[in-house]
Amino acid sequence: NAGVMQNPRHLVRRRGQEARLRCSPMKGHSHVYWYRQLPEEGLKFMVYLQKENIIDESGMPKERFSAEFPKEGPSILRIQQVVRGDSAAYFCASSLGAGDTEAFFGQGTRLTVV
Amino acid sequence: GNSVTQMEGPVTLSEEAFLTINCTYTATGYPSLFWYVQYPGEGLQLLLKATKADDKGSNKGFEATYRKETTSFHLEKGSVQVSDSAVYFCALSEGAGGYNKLIFGAGTRLAVHP
- Mean predicted confidence (pLDDT) in B37-63: 92
By Cβ distance, the residue of A31, A43, A101 closest to B104 is A43
Residues of A in contact with B97 (CB under 8 A): 55-56
- pLDDT > 90? residue B71: yes
Residues of A in contact with B104 (CB under 8 A): 35, 42-44
- Residue-wise pLDDT tens digits, A46-104: 999 998 899 999 999 999 999 999 999 999 999 999 999 999 999 999 988 876 568 89
Residues of A in contact with B46 (CB under 8 A): 102-104
Weakest-pLDDT range from A29-43, A58-72, B34-48, B86-100: B86-100
Residues of A in contact with B51 (CB under 8 A): 100
Going by C-alpha positions, the residue among B75, B61, B60 that lies closest to residue B108 is B75
Q: Does A45 contact B101 at a Cβ distance shorter than 8 Å?
A: yes
- On whether any CB of chain A is under 8 Å from the CB of B64, the answer is no
Q: Does A42 contact B44 at a Cβ distance shorter than 8 Å?
A: no
pLDDT at B16: 97
Contact B69, B54 (CB under 8 A): no
Angle at A108 between CA B23 and CA A46, to 5 degrees: 65
Which helix (H) or strand (E) covers residue B47, if one does?
Answer: strand B44-50
pLDDT at B43: 84
SS3 assignment, position B83: helix
Angle at A106 between CA B110 and CA B46, to 5 degrees: 50
- What is the Cβ-side half-sphere exposure of residue B96, based on CA atoms within 13 angstroms? 9
Q: Could you list the beta-strand ranges (E) of A25-64.
A: 31-37, 43-50, 53-56
Expressed in angstroms, the distance from the first to the final Cα of chain B is 41
B96 pLDDT band, cuts 50/70/90, is: low
Backbone phi, psi, residue B83, to 5°: -70, -10
Of these ranges, A41-50, B33-42, B43-52, B61-70, the one predicted with the greatest mean pLDDT is: B61-70
| Mutation site for A-interface testing, chosen from B36, B44, B47 by largest number of A Cβ within 10 Å | B44
- Residue-wise pLDDT tens digits, B15-26: 999 999 999 999
- In terms of DSSP bridges, do strands A19-24 and A10-13 run parallel, antiparallel, or are they unpaired? unpaired
pLDDT at A59: 94
Which helix (H) or strand (E) covers residue B92, if one does?
Answer: strand B86-93
